[in-house]
Structure 1
Amino acid sequence: MTESGHQLRVTRQPSGGSAPRPGPHERAATLEHALTASTGVFPAAARSVRRLRNGVQIFPAMLDAIAKAERQIAFVTFVYWTGEIAERFAEALSLAARRGVSVRVVLDAVGAREMDDRLIRTMRSAGVEVRWFRPVRAWRIWQSSHRTHRKLLIVDGQLGFTGGVGIAREWQGDARDPSQWRDSHFELVGPAVLGLWGAFIGSWLEAGGDPLAPPTPTPARVDPRDRLSIHVLPSTAAVGWTTIAIALWALIDAAERSIKIATAYFTPGEETVEALCAKARDGVRVELLVPGPHADVRVAKIVAESELRPLIEAGVRVYYFCPTMMHTKVVVIDEAFACFGSANINNRSMRKDEEILVATGASDLVEDLLIDFAADLGRSELLELEQLRERPWWRRLVAKLLGPLRSEI
């Protein structure tokens, strides 16, 4: 149901021609194969994967997992700012450490710079090992542009969380007004969580952590309930196209029916724009959902406008999310296969920063994400080509002047 009481329906597109098209399970298997072939990464088993919608669902689930931890907690975030939720996370992690749980935290030195130093002292005094990822230093200035944008929470090697949420007041609530951001986070259970653990180890070592300190989680016993198949793809903070960029291009190329993208920051390179335009011209329904009037980084929105025109001209339907800032990072291909994690469709995520991408054809999750996408479109405005043509001269000038900086946006 929408907030206005209307029933939402997720309608799968009818097949054309005389031969029946493959169903969602067959399409998911084909897309999974394309992802494996393009990245060299094989999927892992999982018991469950659950979408958590907005802070009202996300934060209680994460705090409950921390409270129930028995052996170890690994936590990485780009954003750790201020507000009640920042206090609650610091308190929960500190309490876990005091009861004997091994707690390790990695904070990005740029993204989390607004964090209250008092919270760092609280955690460290309780026994939490807190590390800063790549503090900005003059003699290593070339590293400053390459950040960890991952959001990871791994508990006892069996339960993991990832997605777009940051630890700050902006993410609290249910996206009902501009003070409550719209976002999705995801809970994984089972062996695939080790992929998140491996990503944490990479961030931990880069932040100066002892390579022998974090013990490998206890191996999980074979469980017949671990029936889902999930790819976990980490990318490192480096130069050049990342594994995540390659994965996204492979899935776009393999799409036959539809591509649905929700991304907080859309400033891709020409390769991505051309790939989406080609699919739209070939008859694939391509829908792009991006932040509207409440975009938190206005510069990114202005720069993105130059990329939107060729997309719309090629037949891509572009929507501006209106009620509040939209921070989700979700892609659904052919209504059968979903990707989510910390990565945006922008140059930073695809070329520079540490990110995490999770992909699966789990049917229940895909259905939830299709319902979410339809609900979000119901609160969005379709962007018309005429609106871009009528942009004021100063806005076009700003976009042109900022063009050389698009790799940093």
Structure 2
Amino acid sequence: MITVLIIISVLIFIVALLLIDFALGKRNHLKNLRFLDFSRTSGDYELYTSGDPLFKHMFEDIRNANQEINMIFFIVKTDPISQELMSLLKQKAEEGVKVRFMLDRIGSFRITPKVIKDLEQSGIEFSFCAKPKFPYLFYRSQRRNHRKITVIDGDFGYIGGFNVGKEYLGKDAELGNWRDYHLRLTGPVVNDLLTTFFDDWYLATKQNTNPKLPTNTTGNKDIEIVASDGGQLEDAFLTLINEAKEEIFIGTPYFIPSERLFQALLRALERGVDIKVIAPMKADHLLVKEAGIPYMDRLTKAGGEVYLFDMGFYHAKVIIVDKQLCDIGTANFDRRSLFLNKEVNTLIFNPRFVVDLRLAFLRDVQDSQNFKDHAEQHFNFGTKVRIGIAYFFRPLL
């Protein structure tokens, strides 16, 4: 009995330390938010919804690079597609192309010192970013750099939801087909992506590169980069929701909104706005689906529609408003993206593109099941227990 009490006391003490660490770390984070304030600019864009064509075209652009390649990913693994990417980067570095390659320290934990040494010996400048460290070790371990940016010769930029690994090619037996959105950008907007990359590079390496941004003149479609640091994204999403007059379509792998965002969605329903949400039927992380179920249930009871994609795994991050504008990027509709992670999104103000994107969204609705049709299984005893547990972990989900 005494042993049990000691164990319980130790666990309570550890939890208390973690909560204090998180609270103090959050306060420090909010005091030191970095703002990259970009205005609306112009450019062209191409959308990819599956991994094979995306990596085919990205690798082709990398092969054709003759000046520099700047790349950051949340996750790169050591599987064949990851090896292909790193081999290609090594080849370009050996050809004399300047290559900067940056990865999130926890997301890309599989990248070992041996792999890094091999990269650097070929001439690649490599760095991890968002390294957990004291003080606030627990908080900083939760605060990830979730951005995925590739800029090639200052001419082409890639941004979106795809990381690098076999599952993003639909080759994971459990997750199956992978649905995601990624953009290839050209024109002046690429400079803002490059600025975002170099801000992260400076924080990770303390190298103040003062890059000379290229003069991009091609592309005449309105677009805006939104780079968030765990403090600005909620307001950006609120603006989209509050200004909607007809419809809001949200695609996200994790539907765990803040209370402000959720109340804004309910008010939009009261205004007569049509709201549709797509999330995955399968979950790729513990408790993320259970954390979202109460919001899905309340939204559907208020008149919204929630669909669970079951033709594979749904990883797209998109908000479509009134057939006029859309938001595509790295940020999920969850509390981790809103308040912890570094993210980068694009706002596109091109009705023709938005209409096509909307049709793609509705096709995914056809490959989904209505949340209402599975209400019983979402609220069985086992799921209710997991929902209760997930409630306490929402700030980390």
The TM-score, its normalising length taken from structure 1, stands at 0.83
Q: CA RMSD in A?
A: 2.1
Q: Which has the higher helix share?
A: 2
Go from structure 1 to structure 2 and tell me whether the alpha carbon gap of 1:117 and 1:380 turns closer, same or farther (over 3 Å shift).
farther
Tell me the distance in 1 between the aligned counterparts of 2:253 and 2:123: 35
List per-residue Cα deviations over 1:179-215 (Å, max 9, x = no partner): 3321111011001111111111121122124113x63
Residue 146 of structure 1 aligns with which residue? 143
User: 1:126, CA displacement in angstroms?
Assistant: 0.8
Give the 5 Å matches for 1:78-89: 78-89=74-85
User: 1:122, CA displacement in angstroms?
Assistant: 2.8
User: 1:168, CA displacement in angstroms?
Assistant: 0.4
- Match status 1:254 vs 2:243: yes
List per-residue Cα deviations over 1:97-124 (Å, max 9, x = no partner): 1111111111001111123555433321
Residue 220 of structure 2 aligns with which residue? 227
List per-residue Cα deviations over 1:218-257 (Å, max 9, x = no partner): 333xx4x431111101012x5xxx2222111101100011
Whether contact under 8 Å (1:51, 1:365) holds in the other structure is no
Corresponding letter in the other structure for 2:219: D
Structure 1: state its 5+ residue gaps.
Answer: 1-38
| SS of residue paired to 2:179 | coil
Whether contact under 8 Å (1:81, 1:116) holds in the other structure is no
Whether contact under 8 Å (2:323, 2:351) holds in the other structure is no
Tell me the distance in 1 between the aligned counterparts of 2:191 and 2:38: 14
The TM-score, its normalising length taken from structure 2, stands at 0.86
Residue 180 of structure 2 aligns with which residue? 183
Corresponding letter in the other structure for 1:101: V
Go from structure 1 to structure 2 and tell me whether the alpha carbon gap of 1:298 and 1:291 turns closer, same or farther (over 3 Å shift).
farther
Residue 371 of structure 2 aligns with which residue? 383
Whether contact under 8 Å (2:290, 2:390) holds in the other structure is no
Whether contact under 8 Å (1:73, 1:155) holds in the other structure is yes
Whether contact under 8 Å (1:134, 1:207) holds in the other structure is yes
Higher RCO (Cα < 8 Å, 6 or more apart): 1
Give the 5 Å matches for 1:300-379: 300-379=288-367
Tell me the distance in 1 between the aligned counterparts of 2:116 and 2:358: 39
Whether contact under 8 Å (2:38, 2:192) holds in the other structure is no
User: 1:71, CA displacement in angstroms?
Assistant: 1.0
List per-residue Cα deviations over 1:106-161 (Å, max 9, x = no partner): 10011111235554333211111111112233545042221100000011112100
Corresponding letter in the other structure for 1:147: R
User: 1:364, CA displacement in angstroms?
Assistant: 3.9
Tell me the distance in 1 between the aligned counterparts of 2:374 and 2:162: 34
Corresponding letter in the other structure for 2:275: V
Give the 5 Å matches for 1:149-164: 149-164=146-161
Count of residues paired in the alignment:
361
| SS of residue paired to 2:283 | coil
Tell me the distance in 2 between the aligned counterparts of 1:386 and 1:296: 19
User: Which of 84, 90, 101 does residue 86 from structure 2 map onto?
Assistant: 90
Tell me the distance in 2 between the aligned counterparts of 1:355 and 1:84: 27
Residue 137 of structure 1 aligns with which residue? 133
| SS of residue paired to 1:76 | strand
User: 1:178, CA displacement in angstroms?
Assistant: 3.5
User: 1:394, CA displacement in angstroms?
Assistant: 2.6
Corresponding letter in the other structure for 2:126: V
Go from structure 1 to structure 2 and tell me whether the alpha carbon gap of 1:148 and 1:313 turns closer, same or farther (over 3 Å shift).
same
Corresponding letter in the other structure for 1:143: R
Go from structure 1 to structure 2 and tell me whether the alpha carbon gap of 1:171 and 1:40 turns closer, same or farther (over 3 Å shift).
closer
Residue 112 of structure 1 aligns with which residue? 108
User: Which of 90, 95, 99 does residue 95 from structure 2 map onto?
Assistant: 99
Go from structure 1 to structure 2 and tell me whether the alpha carbon gap of 1:175 and 1:340 turns closer, same or farther (over 3 Å shift).
farther
Go from structure 1 to structure 2 and tell me whether the alpha carbon gap of 1:107 and 1:94 turns closer, same or farther (over 3 Å shift).
same
User: 1:365, CA displacement in angstroms?
Assistant: 2.5
Structure 1: 4+ residue segments shifted above 6 A:
174-177
Whether contact under 8 Å (2:226, 2:344) holds in the other structure is yes
- Match status 1:286 vs 2:279: no
User: 1:173, CA displacement in angstroms?
Assistant: 4.4
Tell me the distance in 1 between the aligned counterparts of 2:305 and 2:269: 9
